[in-house]
Amino acid sequence: MLLNNFSTFLLETGTDEAGRGCLAGPVTAAAVILPIDFENTILNDSKQLSEKAREKLRPIIEEHAISFAVTHLYPNEIDEINILNASMKGMQESILKLNQIPEFIIVDGNRLLNAKLGLKHNFGKKFSKAEIELLKSIPNQSIIKGDSKYLSIAAASVLAKTYRDDYMNRIHEEFPMYNWKKNKGYPTKEHREAIRKYGATKYHRMSFRLLPEQLKLDF
């Protein structure tokens, strides 16, 4: 069973992201503050859950959460600041969107949430000095495989995954030949074959290797 809190604080938020390894679409982050007595026997790392289970959990999480927020960071920003920084920035933005300031933050992975703040870039949100200071002021802990250990991180992973899937389903209608409704932008054989055949779109991450080196992509 997953644990409720890492710290002794009541307002502890978990944060996670989805879509980091995709060739197309945003990287999506979420932050969730759950009540200290929240219980759910199904909730787990979103990667371990079926799509049906994730869809069932999403309204439960949103109804019971003290606060939650979701953020998309789009390919132009990913290409500019790189996917690692974009993933962290998405989680930072989600924290700032919460309607209550958390007392403690737990982050899935091995990098602290405030490891890099105030990146200079042309796309996306620019953090104010006050926002940077706020993020610096909140103690946080990175936890490897935290989405399979703590309820709030698992909840964030479910929201990030389901909101990102919804986005990919919408843009699938614009470019159905890539079958994003099924592959969600991940580097499947089918997706890469469509890139080879039709080229890249405005939703592709041009800083990623869209095709294996032996294949040429013509624009």
Mean pLDDT value across residues 65-77: 98
Is residue 123 a contact partner of residue 105, using CB atoms and an 8 Å limit? no
b vs e for 128-158, b when ≥16 Cβ sit within 10 Å of the residue's Cβ?
Answer: eeebeeebeebebeebeebbbbbbbbbbbbb
Nearest to 29 by CA among 123, 163, 170, 128: 163
For the chain, what percent of residues have pLDDT higher than 70? 97
- Separation between Cα atoms, residue 29 and residue 18, nearest integer Å: 6
Mean pLDDT value across residues 142-150: 94
Q: What is residue 216's DSSP assignment? A: -
β-pair partners for 143: 108
Question: What confidence score (pLDDT) does residue 17 get?
Answer: 97
Is residue 19 a contact partner of residue 75, using CB atoms and an 8 Å limit? no
- For residue 106, the one-letter residue type is I
Mean pLDDT value across residues 38-59: 93
Question: What confidence score (pLDDT) does residue 140 get?
Answer: 95
Question: What confidence score (pLDDT) does residue 99 get?
Answer: 96
> Tell me: the pLDDT tens digits for 83-140?
999 999 999 999 999 999 999 999 999 988 887 888 888 999 999 999 999 999 999 9
Reduced to 3 states (helix: H, G, I; strand: E, B; else coil), residue 71 is strand
Question: What confidence score (pLDDT) does residue 184 get?
Answer: 98
Q: How would residue 219 be classed by pLDDT, with cut points 50, 70 and 90?
A: very low
Question: What confidence score (pLDDT) does residue 91 get?
Answer: 97
Question: What confidence score (pLDDT) does residue 34 get?
Answer: 98
pLDDT at 179 over 70: yes
Is residue 139 a contact partner of residue 125, using CB atoms and an 8 Å limit? no
Calculate the average pLDDT of the chain.
Answer: 94
Structure tokens at 97: 């969107």
- Separation between Cα atoms, residue 134 and residue 155, nearest integer Å: 23
Question: What confidence score (pLDDT) does residue 216 get?
Answer: 54
**Edge-to-edge, what's the strand order for the sheet holding 27-33?**
67-73, 27-33, 12-18, 104-108, 140-143
Cα distances (angstroms) measured from residue 131 to each of 70, 103, 127, 139: 17, 15, 6, 15
pLDDT at 81 over 70: yes
Number of residues that this document lists for the chain: 219
- Separation between Cα atoms, residue 49 and residue 35, nearest integer Å: 22
> Tell me: the pLDDT tens digits for 2-20?
999 999 999 999 999 999 9
